[in-house]
Structure 1
Amino acid sequence: MKSTTLVVFIAFVVVLVSSPPQIESRVVVESTKPPCTTIDLTGCWPELFDKTKPSAQCCGTLKAQQPCYCDFIKNPALRKFATSPEAHLALGFCGIPFPTC
């Protein structure tokens, strides 16, 4: 009886060792940052040139792009727009602090 138990135990261990469990792992990284290649000024044009309080649509658009402001400032093609007096004024009207990058 002892030898039968030992054989069954060894066979069980061999099966376990020879076929390790298949474990699949993935890392999913989701970014909430929008693409930062262009500045979206939807609903902002008249206010930017008139230097008046932006519409709610404009403020919403500017707030959605807030994670991109440092990228805009670092981009030579966008820097002049992102750091303009009009941009500072629009951000201030919308309650968005100007970034410190």
Structure 2
Amino acid sequence: MKSSVVFFCVIAALLLLRAPTSVEAATCNPTELTPCAAAILKSSPPSSLCCSKLKSQAPCFCQYQKNPSLSRYISGGRKVAAACGVPVPSC
């Protein structure tokens, strides 16, 4: 049993060493935030799917804020992001 734990640790270490070190750029698509609509517009608690989508779209927040058709949702979006623990950048 001890040898299987050591083997697992060695395999895990090798996988971590081979993991890519660069971060992929997010694909900015505001429709990905559709699961957050109720939380943003109605001030309801965000779902786990909403929080997941916010995390994946976080690198796009500044771009969304500059878009006049999306910027009106920023204040509600900040509250939802805070509830999800997603940091909102200063743009």
**For the superposition of Structure 1 and Structure 2, which TM-score range results when normalised by the shorter chain?**
0.5 to 0.7
1:46 aligns with 38
Q: Secondary structure at the match of 2:32?
A: coil
Greater per-residue helix proportion: 2
2:19 aligns with none
User: Displacement of 1:91 after TM fit?
Assistant: 0.7
Question: What RMSD in Å do the two structures reach over aligned CA positions?
Answer: 2.2
User: Displacement of 1:58 after TM fit?
Assistant: 0.3
Structure 1 unmatched ranges of 5 or more:
1-29
The residue identity in structure 2 corresponding to 1:78 is: L
* Counterpart-to-counterpart distance in 1, 2:29 and 2:38: 23
Question: Are the equivalent residues in 2 in contact too, given 1:39–1:72 (CA < 8 A)?
Answer: no
Question: Are the equivalent residues in 1 in contact too, given 2:40–2:76 (CA < 8 A)?
Answer: yes
1:1-101 alignment runs, 5 A limit:
32-81=24-73, 83=74, 85-101=75-91
Question: Are the equivalent residues in 2 in contact too, given 1:33–1:68 (CA < 8 A)?
Answer: no
Question: Are the equivalent residues in 1 in contact too, given 2:54–2:81 (CA < 8 A)?
Answer: yes
Q: TM-score, structure 1 length as denominator?
A: 0.56
Structure of larger gyration radius: 1
* Counterpart-to-counterpart distance in 2, 1:43 and 1:93: 14
Higher relative contact order (CA 8 A, sep 6+): 2
Structure 2 unmatched ranges of 5 or more:
1-21
The number of residue pairs the alignment matches comes to 70
* Counterpart-to-counterpart distance in 1, 2:67 and 2:39: 24
